[in-house]
Amino acid sequence: MSRVALITGASRGIGRSIALELAKTGISVAINYYSSSEKAKELLDEIRCFTQNANIYKADVSNEFEVSTMIHKIESDFGKIDIAVNNAGISQIGLFTDMTSNERDRMIGVNLIGAMNVCKAVLPNMIHYKCGNIINISSMWGEVGASCEVVYSATKAGLIGFTKALAKEVAPSRIRVNCISPGIIDTDMNSELSQSDIDELINDIPLKRIGTPKDIAKAVKFLISDEASYITGQILGVNGGIVI
Ligand code: NAP
């Protein structure tokens, strides 16, 4: 029986690439999306060209009820969830003082509480079966902080703390919890950047390119593999060396 992975926010960008990469290695994939239903269906069609072991699930990760309903549905469709990748996220550029409390709460809800909702719902079965893998997608801004992305940085720093603490708590059940901290990755999230912004950023990146969603997907593939069986509670920077 193949392993089963839930990837949140998999309709676009990094999550989409993770879903494709895992499906190609024979893992069954549950593709979560929120608003991009057409894109989620396109991804499902692409994956179904080589495996039937995939489906799409709509849920707002910030909503605990929607998440637990989605997880029950995935467990009933596939029998279990072995891997949860908390990738769904939103960003917003602007001064901290200009952000409304609704915008702040929404960002915390999606980026941080969303991961907690998913973990709370998948862990009971992982603990029962004494195996599981959780990957949280943070950001280099969670490590070093970004001006004009203050709340975003705080949510991503929160994910790092959450990863470390949860890794300690569930290690006795042989569940590994790790975090990936991407640098600048070429997705819609950076669509506001102009070419000259990107050139300037590339200048600051030791490996002299921005990252691709596939760079992150490969890191996920490694962390959930047996090659990483002694790794838990760690933050893996995938950033071309911009944060060392
Ligand atoms: P993206 O292209 O904007 O895609 C974001 C994904 O998150 C979409 O699939 C979106 O789904 C989903 N999403 C948003 N709100 C959601 C919600 N409430 N419930 C469920 N899904 C939701 O962003 P990305 O660049 O791929 O980013 C993916 C993750 O990597 C995020 O956590 C981001 O913070 C992190 N990251 C990105 C970068 C970067 O440079 N791109 C760097 C560091 C970290 P719908 O479209 O279906 O709503």
Query: What pLDDT score was predicted for residue 214?
Result: 98
> Which overall architecture, per CATH, does domain 4-238 show?
3-Layer(aba) Sandwich (3.40)
Sign of CA dihedral 170, 56, 219, 63: negative
Q: How high is the mean pLDDT in each 10-residue block of the chain (244 residues)?
A: 96 98 98 98 97 98 98 98 98 98 98 99 98 98 98 99 99 98 97 93 97 98 98 98 98
For the chain, the maximum distance between any two Cα atoms, rounded to a whole number of angstroms, is 52
How many residues does this entry show for the chain? 244
Residue 23 Cα to ligand 1 middle (Å) = 19
Question: What's the start-to-end Cα distance of the chain, in Å?
Answer: 40
40, 41, 140, 32: which is closest to 87 by C-alpha?
A: 32
* Contact criterion met (CB below 8 Å) for 40 and 11: yes
Q: pTM to 2 decimals?
A: 0.99
- For residues 66 and 94, give the distance between their C-alpha atoms in angstroms, rounded to a whole number: 30
Residue 222 Cα to ligand 1 middle (Å) = 21
Query: What pLDDT score was predicted for residue 29?
Result: 98
Query: What pLDDT score was predicted for residue 1?
Result: 81
- For residues 90 and 59, give the distance between their C-alpha atoms in angstroms, rounded to a whole number: 15
| Cα–Cα separations (whole angstroms), residue 157 to 60, 154, 201, 217 | 21, 5, 22, 21
Query: What pLDDT score was predicted for residue 221?
Result: 98
- Ligand 1, residues at Cβ distance < 6 Å: 8-9, 11-15, 32-36, 60-62, 87-91, 110, 137, 139, 182, 184-185, 187-190
Pocket residue to mutate for ligand 1, from 39, 189, 235, most atoms within 8 A of Cβ: 189
Catalytic residue ranges: 152
Residue 87 Cα to ligand 1 middle (Å) = 6
**What number does the ligand 1 atom closest to the CA of 110 have?**
18
- For residues 89 and 87, give the distance between their C-alpha atoms in angstroms, rounded to a whole number: 6
Among protein residues, the one with the nearest Cα to ligand 1's atom 33 is 89
DSSP state letters, 143-197: HH--TT-HHHHHHHHHHHHHHHHHHHHHGGGTEEEEEEEE-SB-SGGGTT--HHH
